[in-house]
Amino acid sequence: MALFVSGLSHRNAPVELREQLAVEEDKLRELLRDISSTNAVREAIILSTCNRVEVYAVADVPGEARTVMFRRLCRHRGVEPAAVEAVLYTFAEGDAVRHAFRVASSLDSMVIGEPQILGQVKDAFALAQSCEAVGPALHALFTHAFAVAKKVRTETEIARHAVSVSFAAVELAKKIFGGLEGKAVLLVGAGKMSELAARHLVEQGVFPVYVTNRTWGRAQEMARALSGTAVPFDEMSTALAAVDIVITSTGAPEPVIRRELVQRVMHGRRGRPLFFIDIAVPRDVEGTVDSLDDVYCYDIDDLKQVVDANIRERVREAHRAEILVEREVAKFLAKLGDVEVIPTIVSLRERLEAIRSGEVKRTLARLPGATLETREAIEAMSTAIVNKILHAPITKLRESSRAGSPRSWLELVHELFGLGRR
């Protein structure tokens, strides 16, 4: 019986192939039932996202199971099996465990640390469970994988820093102002991207929202969309004095926010910082503005640099996460090994306990005059003998399972103690 995972992902297969092979939920149920009925596979979970199609399975003959499963998958999707088999990767046993943990923890994702994958893995698990395709091995593997993913998320900063421009802007604002609760924002110009950034800010408690635009109707429209207030374009300086964050995205060929204007505005602000997020190209905020005290100005290139820095930070954190995963893989394999020997240990104990209690009963029947103390002493002595005898074989079984070769030991113990066929 062997655990393995086989599939293809963004790492080795082009999107054309991935999208051909991706399976939707209804078909997935059908496919799982189909696979389960073949007897080649004992347990199976199919993970199908836009970045990967993978089968996690337990089978007696992994090679055969893999061929059967992907033949069926290809038939379902009308894909040429040869094209798929050329790029399939397969991991078995420990490597399969590691792969499952890495996928669930988003270490194998296209954008490291992205949060969706864990949900997708959980969905795949639930679906397979509802099709009764999950047995004890995959159940143990996946519940452990969810725990590992959670651990990676909380103990490393793999998902902490933004990898999109609009989220990076929000993070910068937090590094300037601390909390964003009650900070005001002004949108100059009305673009999709500035609306997105504004929405992220509002989610963090930014209020109120002002919108200004050369076209009054457009300003009103955007203000309505963001539950904000429209401000006439020539009253921009008044609004600038009142807000903390300014997002600019006009299509103007010349800067609309000049150094003199900002200098004048800053005078009345008594040191309150002003943060410009300039996502317009060409830029809306004059380049020299950010040399003013308490003024921070990030243009689109600066924000992209921040995103790059954040991605590097994620990669750094990913190294720490890999170590954590490695430790968990070892822990899981030890547990899995124990799982294999535990039934034998239990029946061994039961067998010896049956002998012990039978013999004690017989002995006590021949000693009707025995005091309570004597009876207790006989119980205690016999239990101690059994435990001492059991100690060595149980330790040996546990050790052998951790070393990965419990089979011969299991058979030996069954033979020696007459535990019957496994």
178 or 253, CB closer to other proteins? 178
CB 241 to other proteins: min, Å: 15
CB of 294 to other proteins, least distance (A): 6
- Give the interface size with other proteins as a residue count (CB under 8 A): 22
230 three-class SS: strand
Report how far residue 406's alpha carbon sits from residue 352's, in angstroms, rounded to the nearest whole number: 21
Cβ 165 vs Cβ 193: under 8 Å: yes
Q: Is 297 one of the catalytic residues? A: no
Of 356, 399, 68, nearest to 410 by C-alpha is: 399
Question: Which residues from 253-292 bind other proteins, rule CB under 8 A?
Answer: 270-271, 273, 290
List the beta bridge partners of residue 257. Answer: 285
368 is a contact residue toward other proteins (CB under 8 A) = no
Give 4's Cβ-side CA count (13 Å radius): 21
Nearest Cα neighbor of 137 from 187, 96, 190, 191 is 96
For the bound state, the minimum distance from the C-beta of residue 318 to other proteins, rounded and expressed in Å, comes to 15
CB contact at 8 A, 100 and 91:
no
Distance of alpha carbon 324 from alpha carbon 27, whole angstroms:
36
List the interface residues with other proteins, window 288-307 (CB under 8 A): 290, 293-294, 296, 298, 302, 305-306
Question: 50, 74, 131, 297: which one is catalytic?
Answer: 50
Least CB distance to other proteins at residue 107 (A): 20
Judged by CB, which is closer to other proteins: 13, or 152?
152
| Nearer residue to other proteins within complex by CB, 37 or 291 | 291
Q: How far is the CB of 299 from other proteins (least distance, A)?
A: 9
CA angle 23, 29, 34 (to 5 degrees): 100
Q: How many residues does the chain have?
A: 422
Q: Give the three-class secondary structure for 410.
A: helix
Q: Which is nearer to other proteins, 185 or 397 (CB)?
A: 185
- Residue 245 forms beta bridges with which residues? 185, 275
Residues that bind other proteins (CB under 8 A): 157, 160-161, 172, 174-178, 270-271, 273, 290, 293-294, 296, 298, 302, 305-306, 309, 313
- Give the active site residues: 50
